[in-house]
Structure 1
Amino acid sequence: MRAINEWCRWVLPVLLLMICPAVFAQGHQEAGYPDLRAPAPDYVLRNVAHYPKTTVRANDMKGKHVILDFWGVGCVVCIQSFPKMDSLQKKYAGRLQIFLVGLQEKNRDVAGYYEIFRKRSNLQLASASDSTTFKQFVPSTVPHLVWIDDKGIVQAVTLSEDVKAANIDSFLAGRPFPFMDVSAAALKARKMEVDPLKPLLIGGNGGNDTNYLYRSVLSRWRPGMGSASSPQIDDFLRRKGIPKYQATGVPADVLFLIAYFGTTLFALNDPGNYPYPIVHSGDSAVFRPQGPTGMLYNYELQVPPDRAAKNTLMRMMQRDLTNYFQVEGEVKEMEVPCLRLIVSDERKARKHITAGTPQGKGWVPERGYFETVNMPIGQLPKLLAYRLPGRAEEKYAIDDTHLDAPVSLQLHAEAENLDSIREALRKKGFDLVPGAIRRRALVVRDGKKLQQ
């Protein structure tokens, strides 16, 4: 499910920094970043490709509308937006210039990876690999896009989800348009709005103090608030202070998993449970947010000490979610789709069984390369599949090899292409095949009583 994919992008960094997906600029927020309705900093784009010049200066762009799209190899959301950006560049050719500006990290070939993706997707976007300009413009995370008008004035600093035809039309016409402001000043203003280590509404943390016996709070998340969540509802019960569960910057389906399983299953890793809610609701878009900030929430539940039990918190949380989202959940055993890692040639596969200290590296996508050393084979399917396109439940992968041993593999394949991965695996005696498996799953439906 896409919402879980967004959980991976925003919340998992607190747990194990998944994946992803956001790339953090070096250093702290400081003066010098672009300000709205102010002249853009004097910049130089170096190592420019697919553009008449290999070096582009700010003065070269005077009289032109420009969008600088900053990205990194680790940002899956950035990369998935490239085809959209390419289409918009073609639509507004001659009126708007879009530059992709990649962060050149140590041992990561951002320009090389873009070439691989560009050729595969037939893109024509101009690109630059320039860490100096990246650090000059990006205060926090990517995606990070700076809109500069024909007079050199910064009109917007946005996420990729705000780059759409209607906004571009307004930008070119000099009209204001709605967007999520992620400029350095806006992020700094919101930075301490919610402190995940303190109770909401206490001591001015997110609002004024109130007098309550117990409470639950649900609010929309905004960039700058931070993202944090325990993977299990009873983790907070073991800490000193008011018994509570708190999560900031998480999608709705993560809240539902906590409410009905008591865990997101990432930490529990129970193979008998399916880690994505199955949604049968007219408002299913709530569970599949578009973009890194679409439908992310802050939630907190506090109870008196005499009610501080895991099952009590789960029941209360279920009621809160039912009341707000107008849906009901049920845990049941059923068949769910999956990708199964199997042995296709036992003789070949057994050559890759090894022993020793695990040194798994995973994907190096810009090189079309995957490597593991002494990795427990149960971890292999998830690592192979996590960069595949689509919703998270469409790439739910399990180990069905029955080997129960560590393996060492080197694969040459495209991380975002299942056919390419399968072809590389078959050469090693394995395969990743679509199938189904029985699991305990959370099914979410519109509530009958609530509809009456």
Structure 2
Amino acid sequence: MNPIKLPKSLFNSVHPCSSVVKILLTLFLLLATKVAFAQSPQAVGELKIGDQIPDFKFTNVINNDGEPIKISDYKGKLLILDFWATWCAPCIASFPKLDSLDKAFGDDLDILPVTYQDKEEVAKLFSRMPKLKDINKPMVTDDLVLKTIFPHKILPHYVWIDQEGNVLAFTESSEVTAENIQKALEDNAPMLNQRDMTLLTSYLEQPYFESKIIKPESLLFQSSIAGFTEGLIGAYKVHFDEHRKVERIIVNNMGIIQLYKLAYGELTTTFSQNRLRLEVQHLDNIQFDGSGQKYTDWKKQGNAFCYELFLAENFRDAAFEIMRDDLNRYFPQYKAQVIMEDIDIWALVITDEEKAAQLKTKCSESTLKDSFSEFSMTNRKVSWLISILNTKYLQDLDATLVDKSGLSDNIDLQLQGNMTDIQSIRKALEPYGLDFIAQKEKLPVLVISDTY
């Protein structure tokens, strides 16, 4: 922006303290403030497809020789903003693929990773994961700007910006392919599956069906199921009353296997991969090996459901039993049962009693933090470690983690390493006198089979 110049004659003709000078200076300051404010992310607001992104400047940048980055640096190129975080498993898994695409298209493409986390957290992750050691591309950290103008609810999230700085698309990772990039470079209007930016999580809190006559407090029992519902994230939530009894179960857009796992696991048993038997002829009706838009399309083909169970006090002790009965009615073509089998496990055991004794909590506050590269908790049971590793980071492990440590007190624990690698976790546990040991044990296994 060119500076605003006021003619000297204007000042020569009046006293420095005159009202004219004061008015002119006030107008100048207001104009300067307005120009600056207009470039703030709050003033810009949420950008839509077709909008032009302002020429923001970013100083919190790594792998760029200490130099800042400006949006105008990418003019003439296709720019893809990759919003990610260190705790996001799919984000980390996609880095090598994105790096290869970036290099393959040379000067025509730049993929810019963006995270709200600080440089230290990012550096810690990259220093501990061998598959990331060769990735040395510029990244924006401590981001407060881009996440304001491109708000999103799910990671990873990709924003495509064309060669002129116009917003082209919002997509999932499955759309970031060489074919789509080539189309974007050629005609600037690729046929991409745009991410739905209106997905809601509020329906994990509110009932699907509310009656104007029957008040919720007068309901004794309510069970309902619906097919795939647009606008809802695949998730579930169990609501408890003040006595920690199950009052409501809400499931949004999840498959049959996930429904059975919840009903038979009762929040205490995790049916990991080697504790699930599928004796079903048409597996593609209940299982899909994929992600992104293809997974969403599969759900829409009658393979995902929304379920709600509401129970008055007299029924709450039997919540999951009632849910199992519901599934038998809703899906008569399948039957599920839990049997005991000898399976491979990794047993958490104490290897040094003295070191393990030091784990007893010294904190009054209860905290929990986990990511791809670390796990930490204070004043919590060791079962939290087992549950999070089983369900979040080691889902594909060919053995189940089981707690055999005998630690009954709440503990404080901080691990650093690759949380998707059992050997890395074992090494991180060593200073605490703990280890995971390979064993076999008879454990519950969920079996889903055809009834006819």
- Asked if TM exceeds 0.5, the reply is yes
Aligned twin of 1:315: 325
1:135 aligns with 2:147: yes
Question: Which residue of the other structure, out of 113, 117, 135, is the alignment partner of 2:124?
Answer: 113
The 5-angstrom pairing of residues 89-104 of structure 1 reads 89-104=102-117
For 1:162-220, what per-residue CA distance to the aligned partner results, in whole angstroms no more than 9, with x for missing partners?
Answer: 322332232223243232424xxx42xx65996851335979xxxxxxxxxx9844333
CA distance in 2, matches of 1:340, 1:193: 38
The 5-angstrom pairing of residues 292-441 of structure 1 reads 294-295=295-296, 297-300=304-307, 310=319, 311-320=321-330, 322=331, 327-346=334-353, 348-354=354-360, 361=367, 370-373=375-378, 375-382=380-387, 388=393, 390-391=394-395, 394=398, 396-441=400-445
Name the CA shift for 1:34/1:339 in 2 (closer, same or farther; >3 Å): farther
Aligned twin of 2:135: 123
Q: Percent identity?
A: 22
What letter matches 2:276 in structure 1? I
Note the residue ranges of structure 2 that are not aligned, 5 or more in a row. Answer: 1-41, 213-221
Shift of 1:338: 2.9
Note the residue ranges of structure 1 that are not aligned, 5 or more in a row. Answer: 1-28, 204-213
Name the CA shift for 1:230/1:360 in 2 (closer, same or farther; >3 Å): closer
What letter matches 1:197 in structure 2? Q
Shift of 1:101: 0.6
Q: Report the TM-score when normalising by structure 2.
A: 0.69
Question: Which residue of the other structure, out of 157, 160, 164, is the alignment partner of 2:173?
Answer: 160
The 5-angstrom pairing of residues 176-187 of structure 1 reads 176-182=190-196, 186-187=197-198
TM-align CA RMSD: 4.3
Q: Report the TM-score when normalising by structure 1.
A: 0.69
Kept in 2: contact 1:359–1:375 (CA 8 A): no
What letter matches 1:352 in structure 2? Q
What letter matches 1:315 in structure 2? D
Kept in 2: contact 1:103–1:134 (CA 8 A): no
Question: Which residue of the other structure, out of 44, 47, 50, is the alignment partner of 1:34?
Answer: 47
Kept in 2: contact 1:360–1:373 (CA 8 A): yes
Shift of 1:312: 4.9
Kept in 2: contact 1:110–1:129 (CA 8 A): no
Kept in 1: contact 2:336–2:448 (CA 8 A): yes
Name the CA shift for 1:285/1:338 in 2 (closer, same or farther; >3 Å): farther
Name the CA shift for 1:202/1:62 in 2 (closer, same or farther; >3 Å): farther
User: Matched residue pairs, number?
Assistant: 385
SS at match of 1:136: helix
What letter matches 2:145 in structure 1? T
More helix by share: 2
Shift of 1:140: 3.1
Compare 408-417 and 434-443 and name the one that shifted more.
408-417
CA distance in 2, matches of 1:221, 1:99: 33
Kept in 1: contact 2:239–2:246 (CA 8 A): no
CA distance in 1, matches of 2:383, 2:326: 35
CA distance in 2, matches of 1:391, 1:81: 18
Name the CA shift for 1:246/1:114 in 2 (closer, same or farther; >3 Å): closer
CA distance in 1, matches of 2:114, 2:78: 16
SS at match of 1:415: coil
**Bigger RCO of structures 1 and 2 (CA < 8 A, at least 6 apart):** 1
CA distance in 2, matches of 1:298, 1:139: 27
The higher radius of gyration belongs to 2
What letter matches 1:316 in structure 2? D
For 1:202-239, what per-residue CA distance to the aligned partner results, in whole angstroms no more than 9, with x for missing partners?
Answer: 79xxxxxxxxxx9844333555668553278xx9x986
What letter matches 1:333 in structure 2? M
What letter matches 2:437 in structure 1? V
Name the CA shift for 1:356/1:179 in 2 (closer, same or farther; >3 Å): same
Kept in 2: contact 1:363–1:370 (CA 8 A): yes
Compare 357-366 and 434-443 and name the one that shifted more.
357-366
Aligned twin of 2:284: 283
What letter matches 1:376 in structure 2? K
Shift of 1:61: 1.3
Kept in 2: contact 1:274–1:439 (CA 8 A): no
SS at match of 1:179: coil
The 5-angstrom pairing of residues 199-210 of structure 1 reads 199-200=208-209
Aligned twin of 1:84: 97
CA distance in 2, matches of 1:115, 1:50: 12
For 1:8-37, what per-residue CA distance to the aligned partner results, in whole angstroms no more than 9, with x for missing partners?
Answer: xxxxxxxxxxxxxxxxxxxxx997222113
SS at match of 1:131: coil
Name the CA shift for 1:152/1:370 in 2 (closer, same or farther; >3 Å): closer
